[in-house]
Amino acid sequence: MSFDWKKAFSQCGIPWDTHNTFAAPINLTSLIELKEFLDIVHTKFCLLKPFCENEDYPIVDNRELLPSFESDMWEYKNLPGFSLVAFDRQINYFSEIFQFDILHSLMDETATAEGKSCPLEQTVISQNVQAMQNRMPKKIQDTFKQRFMKYDVSVLDHYPQLLPFILEMDRAQVMALDSFGNYYLSGIYASFPSELDAEIKRFGMRAGKFSIGDNEKYERNRLFVYQYLMELYGFPIVSERRTSSALFARRLHKMGERFLIRVLGQSDRTLTTLYTPPKRKHYPLVEKIALVKVHDDQTEVIRRLEEGGFFVDEKKRIVILRVTYAQHKFNPDNVRQERALSVMMQEVIHPLTGRVIDDLNIIKDTTNMFLRLNDIVRGEHMGRITYKRNEIVENTDTDEKRLKFLYAWLSKHQRRIIGYSDEFFGNVVKVLDGYLLSPDNYEAFGNLNELYQEVWTRYSFIQQARKIKVLEDLRTREFKGERISYGTMLTEAATLLHGLKFEIVSYFDELVASVISIAESILNDRYLTRNYIEKRDDQLTPYGMEMKKQYRKLVSLLDEFKAIRKSRREFSQNR
């Protein structure tokens, strides 16, 4: 293996051999400093160490770091997992809103005279060691006590050496500031409160997806709201550890706390961090660190990483990747309304120096997406996906598997395909039409009709949504990247709606609702109505008359869409 991880630990000031002398004092006074320290320690002990010790370490596929995140089907019980919360303040034990076992800061509890320890100091050390020992599995308690009985386990100087023992404990770690303004390990065995039902219902009500007492609406939209809420905080719908961490972060942020929450799942193999950014925003920042494989076709990326020595394992092309995400408020009028997160920054971290490259596209490469689509339809893709959250599908050697892969690919990249360029989408259409409409496949698809229709429905949704995305742009008087006049806005909107109404054979209520809402917004534009629509015909120029004509045409088309929606709803109610 090309990566000397023992050297890496020592070069970062964290001796690998836990029997070495403890490192120099670590004084961290800000949340960002603490995060940087934890990035180093957790990456090396919880990602790199298991990777180097396990030839079959399950490397994270880069698509797993692209929203929307998929549920994990496997749990690797031999890999580390933990959760942690850090507060940018001192602990107020009785008033905290969660339960944990407290550890005491030696600096707060006792003073030292001329370098000699007093009896109180030994008492605090002993109490902290005992508190940790009590929460450890029996098999490691004696080893832990012998190792740390003379040391202050609350200071971060010893945290790297403590970590192997902490990882054997249940529940979360707690960090906070002491009275001198330095971070320390202030608690263990923490339970994060989780009010999942209340949060889902509150969020769904604000988003307009739920109505009080409407069970049918709740049943129809519950999964969407649940998934959107979780994704805002960096997770799919998954384990209790990650769910409770996400909801606790949401609660702390609402309370105005400055905090950091970190989770490592044994299934996702990813360090997920939620923390208060320097400039407070509507949500805490979401960041993920994982060991990721760079795909072979990214030749220029590989060249730069090789030159800089960024590969953890050059032969396998493994890098340490940190991804920062941007969160989006729910917008019911946005055709990509399910987009809770998008990738804001990608950073490849050097395994020895910690140096960062932030201008490489490791996980959002459109060429890579397109090549994968080609491989799927040809039956040449060798990978694994989760189909509808509950079925693992490996490789694409049958039409059934290819259709399931296509469904997963379209679902995963739906909102990206909606927003990407016409050139990219044109290539996607060629590949999909070439496979889905090929006469050679009619017999196979006839035997897989339900699955085939699922894929076609997802494909049709994306095709319609791309047109509605254009309508969204027209509302702001943008068309193909250029500023347009009100007249062009009305003409293009009417042309688009006229074509779209013939595609409603594949009916999607949420898309029709978006069409109606956007068209109404265009028609209600105050400048448009005041200067053209509210004036008499004899007050208008020929240009103004044409504007009025296009406006009336758009009104007529809007009425048709409303009629379609009404008839669809009546049909559904009468079934």
Identify the pLDDT of residue 490. Answer: 93
Instruction: Read off the pLDDT of each residue in 215-233 and give the average, rounded to a whole number.
Output: 89
pLDDT exceeds 90 at position 208: no
Closest residue by Cα to residue 73 from 244, 195, 238: 238
What's the mean pLDDT when you consider all of the chain? 86
The secondary structure element, H or E, covering residue 289 is strand 285-293
Separation CA 19–CA 310 (nearest Å): 29
pLDDT exceeds 80 at position 390: no
Instruction: Read off the pLDDT of each residue in 62-68 and give the average, rounded to a whole number.
Output: 84
Q: Which has more pLDDT, 63 or 161?
A: 161
**CA separation (Å) from 28 to 148, 177, 184, 356?**
22, 9, 9, 21
**Dihedral pair phi/psi, residue 323, rounded to 5°:** -120, 130
pLDDT in tens, 482-524: 899 999 999 999 999 998 888 776 788 888 888 898 999 999 9
Separation CA 90–CA 93 (nearest Å): 9
Angle at which helices 196-206 and 240-254 pack, to 10 degrees? 60
pLDDT in tens, 7-57: 444 444 444 343 333 445 788 999 999 999 999 999 999 999 999 888 889
Identify the pLDDT of residue 278. Answer: 81
The burial class, CB within 10 Å (0-12 / 13-18 / 19+), for 201 is middle
| Cα first-last separation, the chain | 64
Identify the pLDDT of residue 1. Answer: 37
CB 511 within 8 A of CB 464: yes
Indicate the range of 254-268, 371-385, 444-458 predicted with least confidence: 371-385
pLDDT in tens, 326-377: 888 887 666 665 678 888 899 999 988 888 999 888 887 676 777 788 889 8
pLDDT in tens, 98-142: 999 999 988 766 544 444 445 678 888 899 999 999 999 999 999
Indicate the range of 31-35, 71-75, 223-227, 296-300 predicted with least confidence: 71-75
Report the 10 Å Cβ neighbour count for 14: 19
Q: In DSSP terms, which residues pair with 321 in a beta bridge?
A: 290, 348
- State the residue for tokens 């795909």: 295
Identify the pLDDT of residue 333. Answer: 63
DSSP letter, residue 212: T
Identify the pLDDT of residue 113. Answer: 40
In this prediction the pTM is 0.78
Separation CA 455–CA 377 (nearest Å): 12
Separation CA 494–CA 354 (nearest Å): 55
Identify the pLDDT of residue 335. Answer: 62
Identify the pLDDT of residue 551. Answer: 92
Residues, the chain, total?
575
Instruction: Read off the pLDDT of each residue in 440-468 and give the average, rounded to a whole number.
Output: 91
Separation CA 284–CA 569 (nearest Å): 39
Instruction: Read off the pLDDT of each residue in 433-450 and give the average, rounded to a whole number.
Output: 91
Identify the pLDDT of residue 165. Answer: 94
